[in-house]
Amino acid sequence: MKLLVTGAAGGIGTRLRQMLPSIYKDIRWSDIRKPDDLVAGAEFVAADLADMAQVEKMVAGIDGIVHLGGFSIEGPWETILQANIIGCYNLFEAAYRANVKRVIFATSNHAVGMYPRDQKIGVNVTVRPDSRYGISKCFGEAVGAMYADKHGLRVTCLRIGNFADTPIDQRRLSIFLHPEDLVQLIRIGLEHPEIKYEIFYGASDNAAAWWDNSNAHKFGYRPKHKAENFRAEAMAAQAKLPPDPVGDYFQGGSFSSAEYDADK
Ligand code: 15L
């Protein structure tokens, strides 16, 4: 399988550049600019996701895509529109035209960030985005569904929580995703024979989880890492954060409380 990983210069992409080559031998990396620390000999294609001609070149000859590219936090509408709306549409449409078989779409917990923390949700709930960024992730999940249902592309949407080696605060005790567990989810999306269109939560084995990740478990996901092992450190870090009552109520945290004026 020839693999394309977009967003190669980002936080997750940088880590995957260390982890994926031992599993997949033929990987093309892409980002808008070449990362300074790209290893010698690695295949790289620069592409602006908002430019269809560049995206078509990027996907030529590819069997499977891990789509991490785009803008990874809240931003102005124009930024989100170009990178995450137009960019995501271009990625799926170009993948379809190029006969790509599988796409892993890095969606986000912020697609459902306006659910309260006291509600446990699965993957069959109505989306409740907490930001323009979250809206773009809902859009990407919908684009992926259409290409899967109408055109047979095999699509796995990973609603990534917080990708890190350890949970960095109280919220992240619920949504922590260790890099090795992410790699396990990516492998399921790329290799499991039964994948058509699935949404999985990108989360480790977190005792304080707000998400029912049984759909991922059905496909064999067995996370190895547990946020709870780092509770003391996470709570010590939490104690140093400024109060955020709205952010602490909703799953999306500061993405939910930013620009929030529903009580006004
Ligand atoms: C995300 O979707 C972001 O890409 C990441 O930077 C974190 O903010 C993460 O969510 C989170 O919610 O912790």
Tell me which of 133, 147, 201, 221 is the catalytic residue.
133
From CA 32, how far away is CA 37, in angstroms rounded?
A: 15
Cα within 13 Å of Cα(38), Cβ side: 21
Distance CA(256)–CA(72), nearest Å, equals: 15
Q: How many Å from the N-terminal Cα to the C-terminal Cα in the chain?
A: 53
Query: Measuring from atom 4 of ligand 1, which residue has the nearest CA?
Result: 72
Helix (H) or strand (E) holding 17: helix 11-19
What sign does the dihedral 163-166-169-175 (CA atoms) show?
positive
**Length in residues, the chain:** 264
- Topology, domain 2-257: Rossmann fold (3.40.50)
Pocket test for ligand 1, best of 72, 135, 251 (most atoms within 8 A of CB): 72
Residue 193: what pLDDT? Answer: 98
Q: Any idea which residue has 């000859």 for tokens?
A: 61
Interface predicted TM-score (ipTM)? 0.98
Let me know: does 50 contact 42? Beta carbons within 8 Å: no
Dihedral sign for Cα atoms in the order 258, 259, 262, 264: positive
Q: At what angle do helices 52-59 and 87-97 cross, to 10 degrees?
A: 50
pLDDT digits (tens, 9 = 90+) for 157-215: 999 999 999 999 999 999 999 999 999 999 999 999 999 999 999 999 999 999 999 99
Q: Can you name the residues that pair with 3 across neighbouring β-strands?
A: 27, 64
Which of the listed residues 12, 80, 107, 109 should we mutate to test ligand 1's pocket, taking the one with most ligand atoms within 8 A of CB?
109
Taking phi over 0 as left and psi of -120 to 50 as alpha, with beta for the rest, 99 belongs to: left
Residue showing tokens 């560049």: 54
Name 162's bridge partners. 176
Domain ranges of the chain: 2-257
Ligand 1: atom nearest CA of 253 is: 12
Tokens describing residue 140: 């990407």
Query: How many angstroms separate the alpha carbon of residue 253 from the centre of ligand 1?
Result: 10
The per-residue pLDDT for range 10-44, each reduced to its tens digit, is: 999 999 999 999 999 999 999 999 999 999 999 99
Buried b (16+ CB within 10 A) or exposed e, 159-190: bbbbbbeebbbbbbbbbbbbbebbbbbbbbbb
- For residue 22 the two structure tokens come to 């031992």
pLDDT digits (tens, 9 = 90+) for 79-104: 999 999 999 999 999 999 999 999 99
Is pLDDT of 68 > 80? Answer: yes
Compute the distance between CA of residue 258 and CA of residue 160 in angstroms, rounded to an integer: 20
Average pLDDT over residues 48-57: 98
Q: Return the percentage of the chain with pLDDT > 70, whole number.
A: 100
| 24 assigned to active site | no
